Amino acid sequence: MSQKYVYLFSEGSAKMRDLLGGKGANLAEMTTLGLPVPFGFTVSTEACTRYYTDKMTIADEIIDQIEAALVVTEEKAGKKFGDPSNPFLVSVRSGARASMPGMMDTILNLGLNDDTVVGLAKLTNNERFAFDSYRRFIQMFSDVVMEVEKKKFDEIFEEIKHKNNCKLDTELTAENLKEVVKLYKAMYLKEKGIEFPQNPREQLLEAIKAVFRSWDNPRAIVYRRKNDIPYDWGTAVNVQAMVFGNMGNDCGTGVAFTRDPATGEKRLFGEYLINAQGEDVVAGIRTPQPIDRLKIDMPGVYDQFVKTAQILESHYRDMQDMEYTIQGGKLFMLQTRNGKRTAASALKIACDLVNEGMITEEEALLKIDPKSLDALLHPTFKPAALKAAKDIATGLAASPGAACGRVYFTAEDAVEASGRGEKVILVRLETSPEDIEGMHVSQGILTARGGMTSHAAVVARGMGTCCVAGCGDVRVVEGAKSCTIGGNAVKEGDWISLNGSTGKVYLGAIETMPAEVSGNFATIMGWADKFRTLKVYTNADTPFDAAKAVEFGAEGIGLTRTEHMFFDPDRIPAMREMIVSNTEEERRKALAKLLPMQIEDFKGIYKAMGGRPVTIRFLDPPLHEFLPTDEEDIIALAKDMGITVDDLKATISSLHEFNPMMGHRGCRLAVTYPEIAEMQTRAVIIAAIEVRKETGLDIVPEIMIPLVGEVKELKYVKDIVDATAKKVMEEQGVTFKYEVGTMIEIPRAAITADEIATEAEFFSFGTNDLTQMTFGFSRDDAGKFLGEYYSKKIYESDPFARVDQKGVGKLMEMAATLGRKTRPNLSLGICGEHGGDPSSVEFCHRIGLNYVSCSPFRVPIARLAAAQAAITNKK
Ligand code: ADP
Ligand code: MG
Ligand code: MG
């Protein structure tokens, strides 16, 4: 027997979501539950995939199955497709596995033509209704299937309304609507060069193909990428007998939720529209009534609906979002699904459902999208204020949250303005380490250049500051005190607002409100901690960030970037001095200046972490991040160092690298200049000794050597660490445990992980570098061409945001296995940006890592994602 591609609603169930899509599976489930659902059938997602492999044609065997299902559906309805005396009409509705709201368009009233419309009018004794349905069908079919713009029809419709002095669609008479139909058909002929298709079977096949095609439209592609939905899932098509909400005043159509999707409050929440069809409710043509009005208008129907809603909610054990139509005082259910909701309402509903005894804690955790928690951790715009605002440009949503402030163009001006008590938005071409202080005092950061892993984006996310990066509509000239944003002139001191969660930029000040962490949030996090096995650490470079992370539930620090402590304006000179030193002696002199600062930094972090594990990574950065570029800075540095500007310039140019990301950085610095590792070890150990003394905490420092690709280079640096640590401990007359481990971020380290593990006591996957080195493209440059790769379907998602499990993930898994073969108790973690990405967290759980480490604001997200990973992988 050939494969089954078409399923009657009576043959499916909610479990068959992958095959029937969400809408189809739930229509089948409701049918089986005995709820009033117009009958129909679903053409499966496999038929969609087959359509694409068959070069966009529907195979004959599938057409035969559609035909057979259509005959059964006709018989149930007691009507016939194309029969003028008793015409059968259907809707053609798309439905993918995951709901993709608004992505694909529905066609209603299919089966109407010049003959059946007359038949329908006679049969219902309602000519107005018949022609209203026909004009809707012509417009939808032309728009969705034949790509004749909807607007062209809207114009005709408005003109007829105007000509006949009608304000509402419902005021048009049958005669008016006949004229609309005539003009629509003429428009179709003019646009397509052929008559509007009259054969219902041809209409049906064309509509099904159009749904399949819509899977690949640009809107759908963008939505899928944003929501991690794979292309090969495909969409199903539902063909369903029509019921009519537009037959008169005992008819209507509406949508409703079993709980309030904004707050989570338990009450029926929804709207309906009398004498209307399908999209009218959402299209805003007439103002819909709240569903409570239905109680007055049609009490019987209302009671039945309330009961149905209860049945569905307890059946699905989740808040439902339902669509329904009333025909001649009779209720029909057209859709149900787990309703979309705000983050706050998701938490409330999950807690309430557990309290009501409807679901378990584990099920509650699975209902919350970890990424959505983000919205609760950052300020948001006041909804009313946002409504009145107009966006003027869009960039990358680089760091979430909402902000408003006055525009300043340099870090110094930002600092000064904030000193005067102003709220500041820093606008830069792109940011660099020199801007750190300015970034710190800003409410938000806007850059014209740079991607999701640009300096501005990474640093802003770390600070939890709102950032819109790479906004091409910003024209800003270095040194100028004004710019244009989306064509609007903006000068220093002007107010703008940013939404780092959407990438939108607004003119003027939109009031914000602070993040609210409610009781439900804490409850959910408590449950998450109960079920997860992965630990959640944080990436933090300052005591402030560390303390914030602990507040959000971090159990340790997986990464402290020691170089980030030197971005500070009063520290950067010493750091620069160290980098441009020509002799060991000069370098030691500069390092001696850095030592006390570093000790203080580490002490602050140890204290903030209260004895929790702290992993400190030794100096790593590509040097160009620190080299002075401003003439002013160069002159000052030369003076500090007592050398001539020309000599300094010569050194700087000798340090120039063609590819700094793969240049003299990471442990290569310690191999060439062991005194750097010595100083850093000294700082780590002395800080630990002092904090141990002051607090009595058992501090066990973990020293992490970056960018290792060969066990011998790790051993070389580790020997320096061990010798220095021994010396310092002897000097101070103490001994305690510390650990030395490494980053796995060079493919060769992953491949030779069994060797590396002979020296390393722990591994931490540096997946930012591991990704760029595995793919062979730089994260700073990839933004320029990755767009093309997405649109050409070579890559589906950003490998810097989501671990590429096939390639990079394989290296990680290999390194984990090899490493533990050498050292069974090897501790494994991840400290790349991926550590806070839910799908990557799930992957880390599966390959047996001990912890994930992410920026403070993503800690709650990782905690929930880790719990979900533990729960789903247990099943
Ligand atoms: P979406 O996925 O955009 O919600 P749907 O397929 O649910 O699209 O269709 C949108 C609306 O069209 C439904 O809410 C319903 O009002 C109307 N509709 C769809 N199928 C039918 C039908 N068989 N009878 C009457 N109305 C229908
Ligand atoms: Mg719908
Ligand atoms: Mg790295």
Res 281: pLDDT: 63
CB of 831 within 8 A of CB of 765? yes
Label residue 81 by pLDDT band (50, 70, 90). very high
Q: Could you tell me the pLDDT band of residue 549, with boundaries at 50, 70 and 90?
A: very high
Instruction: Determine the angle formed by the axes of helices 631-641 and 645-654, rounding to 10 degrees.
Output: 110
Angle at 345 between CA 344 and CA 346, to 5 degrees: 90
Ligand 1 atom at shortest distance from the alpha carbon of 255:
14
Amino acid at 791: S
pLDDT for the residue 103: 57
Question: 368-397 pLDDT, tens per residue?
Answer: 999 889 878 888 898 888 888 889 999 998
Ligand 1 neighbourhood includes 451 CB (under 6 angstroms): no
Q: Are 499 and 422 in contact (CB under 8 A)?
A: no
Residues around ion ligand 2, judged by CB within 5 A, are 323, 335
* CB atoms near residue 60 (< 10 Å): 8
Q: How is residue 768 written in tokens?
A: 């930012």
Residue 275 CB neighbours (<10 A): 22
Q: What is the rounded distance in angstroms from the CA atom of residue 616 to the CA atom of residue 559?
A: 6
Query: Which range, of 85-94, 141-150, 199-208, 426-435, averages the lowest pLDDT?
Result: 426-435
Which ranges of 556-657 does DSSP label H, i.e. alpha helix? 572-580, 584-609, 631-641, 645-654
Q: Is the dihedral of CA 581, 584, 589, 591 positive or negative?
A: positive
| Residue owning tokens 């950052």 | 378
Ligand 1 proximity of 93 Cβ (cutoff 6 Å): yes
- Ligand 2 centroid, distance to 95 Cα (angstroms): 9
Q: How far apart are the first and last CA of the chain?
A: 34
Query: Which residue is closest in CA terms to ligand 1's atom 6?
Result: 93
User: Does the structure show a pLDDT above 80 at 816?
Assistant: yes
Identify which of 277, 335, 340 to mutate to test ligand 1's pocket (most ligand atoms within 8 A of the CB).
335
pLDDT at residue 1 above 70?
A: no
Q: Which DSSP letter does residue 786 get?
A: H
pLDDT tens digits for 741-800? 999 999 999 999 999 999 999 999 999 999 999 999 988 788 889 888 988 889 988 899
Model confidence at 284: pLDDT above 60: no
CA angle 44, 64, 86 (to 5 degrees): 95
How many CB atoms sit inside 10 A of residue 478's CB? 9
Do the beta carbons of residue 456 and residue 450 sit within 8 Å?
yes
Q: With contact defined as beta carbons under 8 Å apart, do 425 and 395 qualify?
A: no
- Map tokens 């100028």 to a residue: 480
Ligand nearest to the CA of 321: 2
Region of poorest pLDDT, from 180-194, 303-317, 511-525? 511-525
% of the chain exceeding 70 in pLDDT:
98
- Of all protein residues, the one whose alpha carbon is nearest to atom 17 of ligand 1 is 278
Strand partners, 255: 271, 323
Residue 104: what pLDDT? 65
pLDDT at 285: 60
> What is the residue type of 151?
K
Which pLDDT does position 678 carry in this prediction? 97
Q: Which run of H or of E encompasses 355?
A: helix 343-355
User: How many whole angstroms from its chain centre is CA 571?
Assistant: 36
Ligand 1: centre distance to CA 360 (Å): 33
Closest-CA residue, ligand 1 atom 19, reads: 91
Q: Give the residue, by CA position, lying nearest to ligand 1 atom 24.
A: 242
Q: Whose CA is nearest to atom 20 of ligand 1?
A: 91
Phi-psi category of 48—alpha, beta or left, where left has phi over 0 and alpha has psi -120 to 50? alpha
Percent above pLDDT 90 for the chain: 72
Give the closest ligand to the alpha carbon of residue 94.
1
User: Looking at residue 340, what is its pLDDT?
Assistant: 85
For ligand 1, the distance from its centroid to the CA atom of residue 243, given in whole angstroms, is 10
- For residue 553, how many other CB atoms are within 10 A of its CB? 18
Angstrom CA distances, 727 to 46, 196, 715, stand at 68, 90, 18
Predicted local distance difference test score (pLDDT) of residue 282:
58
Say if residues 88 and 98 touch (Cβ distance below 8 Å): no
- Decide if 44 contacts 20 (C-beta within 8 A): yes
Report pLDDT for 568. Answer: 74
Per-residue pLDDT, 451: 77
Contact at 8 Å (CB) between 853 and 831?
A: yes
Q: What is the mean pLDDT of the chain?
A: 92
Residue type at position 122:
K
Is the pLDDT score of 49 beyond 80?
Answer: yes
Q: Which of 202, 238, 120 is nearest to 135 (CA)?
A: 120
Sign of the CA dihedral with 603 first, then 606, 609, and 614 last: positive
**CA dihedral (435, 438, 442, 446) positive or negative:** negative
**pLDDT score for 517:** 59
83-106 pLDDT, tens digit per residue, is: 999 999 999 999 999 877 555 678
> Of 359, 451, 246, 312, nearest to 26 (Cα)?
312
* pTM exceeding the 0.95 threshold for the entire prediction: no
Mean local confidence (pLDDT), 204-208: 96
Residue to probe by mutation, ligand 1, list 23, 73, 103, 106, most atoms within 8 Å of CB: 106
- For 684-726, the pLDDT digits (tens) are 999 999 999 999 999 999 999 999 999 999 999 999 999 999 9
Rounded-to-integer distance, Cα 132 and Cα 740, Å: 76
Query: Which residue's CA is the nearest one to ligand 1's atom 15?
Result: 278
The ligand minimizing its distance to the Cα of 764 is 3
Mutate which of 88, 257, 322, 325 for ligand 1 pocket (most atoms within 8 A of beta carbon): 325
Helix (H, G, I), strand (E, B) or coil at 380: strand
Higher pLDDT: 227 or 71? It is 71
Compute, in angstroms, the gap from residue 26 CA to the centroid of ligand 1.
Answer: 13
Separation of 21 CA from ligand 2 center, angstroms? Answer: 13
For 784, the 3-state DSSP assignment is helix
> DSSP code of 402?
E
Instruction: Give the residue, by CA position, lying nearest to ligand 1 atom 27.
Output: 278
Cα 744 to ligand 3 centre (Å): 9
Residues annotated as catalytic are 455, 831
Give mean pLDDT, residues 491-509.
Answer: 94
Residue 125 Cα to ligand 3 middle (Å): 75
Q: Which two tokens stand for residue 298?
A: 């049609």
Phi then psi dihedrals of residue 804, to 5 deg: -75, 100
The CA distances from residue 13 to 25, 26, 42, 104, 654, in Å, are 5, 7, 11, 22, 69
User: Per residue in 563-607, pLDDT tens?
Assistant: 877 777 778 888 888 888 888 999 999 999 999 999 999 999 999
For residue 156, pLDDT over 60 is answered with yes
Rg of the chain over all Cα atoms, to the nearest angstrom = 32
3-class DSSP assignment, residue 475: strand
Q: What would the mean pLDDT of 548-554 be, rounded to a whole number?
A: 91
pLDDT digits (tens, 9 = 90+) for 103-119: 567 899 999 999 999 99
Question: Is 251 near ligand 1, meaning CB less than 6 Å away?
Answer: no
**pLDDT, greater one: 654 or 695:** 695
Residue 331's pLDDT is what?
97
At 684, which helix (H) or strand (E)? helix 674-695
